[in-house]
Amino acid sequence: MEVVFYFGTAVLYSIFAAYTSAYFAATQYWGLKLTYTKSTIDNLVANDKINHYMQTINVNGLQKAITTRRQKLKWYFRFSLNFPLFLVGALLFEWYIPFLTLLGVLFLKNTIRQFLPPANSTTYLQKIIRDLEEQSVHFENRLQMEEKEASDFFVQQLRLKESA
């Protein structure tokens, strides 16, 4: 019975990992697109309240700026589950069960990713925009106006990409 529960947990983890990694790939794609748009960079530099995002630009572009806190938490949570999943399997079962489960998780996650929209799809672009709008409302409710302004700025820039 424990092995069925363990495999079931691994399947659920695979689904969660597929969705979070697909979203991560989308924020990476759209963050890079924003980075290579001259008007976005010019507007970002011109705005003293949010130009600190220029310092966050790295190989993933403005990915950090358009990834909401909730999505970052999901990403950290996903990685924090890797070790306990393997450790529980190693403590409860023979060595080959967690090893095969690990291979199964990788295979299932990547298989599920094949059926999800690609990173450059408007589906993910719209989801990123919705998430940033929700985050903007959250910031407004907490009177964090600089963060709200940054979220609104990136929503505006992404909407320009959506209409292009």
Q: What is the pLDDT of residue 124?
A: 96
Taking Cα atoms as reference points, which of 10, 59, 69, 11 lies closest to residue 35? 59
Q: What is the pLDDT of residue 28?
A: 95
Supply the angle between the helices 69-92 and 122-141 in degrees, to the nearest 10. 110
Q: Does 44 fall in a domain?
A: yes
Q: Does 30 fall in a domain?
A: yes
Q: What is the pLDDT of residue 106?
A: 93
Q: Does 154 fall in a domain?
A: no
* pLDDT band at residue 157 under the 50/70/90 scheme: very high
Structural domains of the chain, count: 1
What is the Cα gyration radius of the chain? 19
* Exposure string over 126-143, b if 16+ CB within 10 A, otherwise e: ebbbebbeebbebbeeee
Q: What is the pLDDT of residue 101?
A: 92
Q: What is the pLDDT of residue 56?
A: 81
Query: Does pLDDT of 164 surpass 80?
Result: no
pLDDT tens-place string over residues 100-129: 999 999 999 999 999 999 999 999 999 999
Tell me the average pLDDT across 1-8. 90
Q: What is the pLDDT of residue 1?
A: 84
Tell me the average pLDDT across 1-22. 93
Query: Does pLDDT of 49 surpass 90?
Result: no
Tell me the average pLDDT across 60-86. 90
Domain that holds residue 87: 1-96
* pLDDT band at residue 51 under the 50/70/90 scheme: confident
pLDDT tens-place string over residues 142-156: 999 989 999 999 999
Which two three-digit tokens encode residue 62? Answer: 């403005």
Q: Does 115 fall in a domain?
A: no
